[in-house]
Structure 1
């Protein structure tokens, strides 16, 4: 993941989070997530989640406030900061709506890796495109921009995406906003699903020719 839009360097931000963890024993991790980690050039805000162990409501409020003040001191604009705190055990609570975003889009400032990688998975953005309002000529032009004339280039190659089925594409989660901007330019409606996936199996079926005939 690359975060060129941060007010300070990523290494400086990681060091600030590590210092905060050293000073507070209940801090398990600090996660940057949301639009910044999804590739938005000018995010409306910067989302942080302070992950704690065994903190009560008062401690969660105090520690999130303290980390926010630390970020302001390093150069983050106060009005664009959204800093929350959660206990580690709350990560498994299906009613806590921020958890999918943390897992799929989050970047651990303590461990210096995306959260989905730390969980042995990948974060994806699945787009279902609606081209029904386009003429045949417009669809062709859009398809060339999307996949190239050879079906293997275009914006998808640039963003390391995959064309799964007609008008269904899968991209790395950090390419979400770049692809959304591409769709905005082409005025293509879409549905977007953020997904966590674990590479499970890759099988290429081949045909072997032997003396006994064709073999699968």
Structure 2
């Protein structure tokens, strides 16, 4: 192997979509000043082979992510950054949602990529999580299920970027007590009814769910 004084690549940054192929070309400057393409002779490695596979400079994009590809020729090395499915923007179709207990709500995630200005639905590709699964849970396809009264934040992650949606589960917007005043005889009984009005326009009898107290 001739001694190389320098080693360069045809590009320092590569952006690919999953399943696409690309190519890096390694060029060496030899000790005598001559230039030679050493792509096939160089040793190629990728820091994260789950993102991209490399062989003799040929790249195969596998999964969303970012990694460094290194070419080595003699004692010289050079690197390129490879980005696969790295979105420019993530956007949810809703930023605040309301859902009843045991109710469900579907959210959709779209993204734009460097090679296109048209938003692409990546709902099924994203990683979904809830910051409070006792309140609300989310499945791998962005379907949110209300568990019990409270608030939670659902996060969608893809290509190193994240976006969130606030979830309100069964929090009433208004409580109505019927009746609002009583005149009672000693030892008599009266039933109070508490009705909750929700953000989605529904109402429900929550008498049995309420915490009651008495003040003289």
TM-score by length of 1: 0.26
Compare the two structures and name the one with the higher strand fraction. 2
TM-score by length of 2: 0.26
Higher relative contact order (CA 8 A, sep 6+): 1
> Whose radius of gyration is greater, 1 or 2?
2
Compare the two structures and name the one with the higher helix fraction. 1
